[in-house]
Amino acid sequence: MSANRTNGAEAPVALVNGRVIDPAAQIDAPGGVLSAGRRIVAAGPDIRTDTIPAEARVIDVGGAVIAPGLVDMRAALGEPGHEHKETLATASRAALAGGITAIACLPNTIPPLDDAPAIEFIARRARENKGVKVFPYATVTRGAEGRDLTEIGLLREAGAVAFTDGTRAVADPLVMRRALAYAKGFGALIVQHPEEPRLSPSGVMNAGEIATRLGLSGIAPQAEVMMIERDLRLVEMTGARYHAAHISTAESVRVIAAAKARGLPVTCDTAPPYFALTEVDVGDYKTFARLSPPLRRFEDRIAIAEGVADGTIDAVASDHQPQDEDAKRLPFAHAAPGMIGLETLLAITLQLHHQNDMPLPAIVRRLSTDPAAILGLPTGNLSPGTPADITVFDPDSPWKIEADRLKSKSRNTLFDGRPVMGRAIMTVVDGRILHEEGLCS
């Protein structure tokens, strides 16, 4: 790989000799991307060394994939209140190393993001950090306590990208109906953590034979699909936009596919653990395997992978949940749920390409184009005039995940030691190269 650079902050930058994948424009062809300042000028097969402006800085990516920057629509970033687990700065470094250019952060913070000053705090911290773009969710209910609705209109004006109680379900059907009706008036999106809490109030892993053998309380798969089915009835009543977060069961995939076929305004996402791991990975009470929702059966893992491949599942999110050692070095039932995922999102999702023959354009769509569209973000594509948010990745680069070498402040990953293929070699945010690995200067 080689580069020929010219000086000048506003000088055009040309990434050339790559495989350009832009699902929004249906581009999958050899070529490059030309940007100037913070914006994309052009992308596709016409961007070559002999077609770009003479003053452009040229970066040869050596045949790697040039794609829209990855958009992670679900991550906990630690601030405010959990800075000992993660900060915006450490999360940003991890995200950029993983090819992510934009994150939607959960509102379950201390204090929760349920008023305009809290939303503005996140925006200010992101600007100060000057790293990955951060778009905050606001809570659906005050304090994410499931009772009183927040001021959805005011919070949207303050910058909330969508509304969710994060790691808690909006369990009361009347509250959810009112939230959906209220949100519809503003064109806002409600994102649900679909789990009926009263069905498995003390559950810590998937209900079934393994939970019984380990003597752990189980969470029935039906707790997830029951909540989704209830919410879909409310969507029919209100016509509001609804998104089911990190679905994990085969039944959830089937129900959402049927809802989409009926024309309901419904989307959903999942996370890598649910198509790469199963309840068997709990092993001998591995607390890193305690997740919410829990790891499911082999059949569910296959159904989730198929749902990602056929598009029933619109997006793959990191579901990044950093936990410190004190929170995980406890008996399984008492350990905090969650697993980090920013830096491993791309590599684990690429397993669907390497093992299941899922086309690379579909991978890019699930990781970038569709999550950006769901959240209404002006990114996730390489169209002229859009922000120059770009990820360059080598889908065939082998490496081994080593928790101690990841950039997140926490180390709670069950993928530690796993050999994978595919990694980000350049991450560009608003035209600034913020991560570069493996390219010659």
- Among 60, 72, 300, 319, which one carries the catalytic annotation? 319
Element (H, E) at 22: strand 13-22
Question: Residue 355: how many CB atoms within 10 A of its CB?
Answer: 11
Handedness of CA 223, 171, 304, 250 (dihedral sign): positive
Q: Give me the average pLDDT of each 10-residue run along the chain (441 residues).
A: 45 95 98 97 94 93 98 96 96 98 97 97 94 98 98 97 97 98 97 94 95 97 98 98 98 98 98 98 97 98 98 98 96 97 98 96 98 97 98 98 97 97 97 84 43
> If you search the block for the tokens 């709990």, which residue do you land on?
282
Estimate to the nearest angstrom the gap between the alpha carbon of 13 and the chain centroid: 28
DSSP state of 131: S
Q: What is the 3-state secondary structure (H, E, C) of 132-186?
A: CEEEECECCEHHHCCCCECCHHHHHHHCCCCEECCCCCCCCHHHHHHHHHHHHHH
Single-letter amino acid, residue 230: R
Instruction: Establish whether 319 is a catalytic residue.
Output: yes
Q: Output the pLDDT for position 439.
A: 62
Assigned token pair, 328:
């995980």
Distance CA 4, CA 183 (A): 50
Element (H, E) at 222: helix 222-238
Q: Output the pLDDT for position 437.
A: 86
Distance CA 377, CA 291 (A): 28
Q: Output the pLDDT for position 201.
A: 86
Interstrand relation of 241-244 and 266-270 (parallel, antiparallel or unpaired): parallel
pTM above 0.85, yes or no: yes
Q: Output the pLDDT for position 4.
A: 40
Q: Output the pLDDT for position 1.
A: 42
Assigned token pair, 74:
């679900």
Instruction: Please enumerate, as own/partner, the contacts of 43-52 that have beta carbons within 8 Å and a separation of 24 or more.
Output: 43/382, 43/383, 43/384, 44/20, 45/20, 47/14, 47/15, 47/16, 47/20, 48/16, 49/14, 49/16, 49/17, 52/12, 52/14, 52/16
Q: Output the pLDDT for position 83.
A: 96
DSSP state of 130: T
Q: Output the pLDDT for position 173.
A: 98
Give the E-state strand segments of 363-418 in sequence order: 390-400
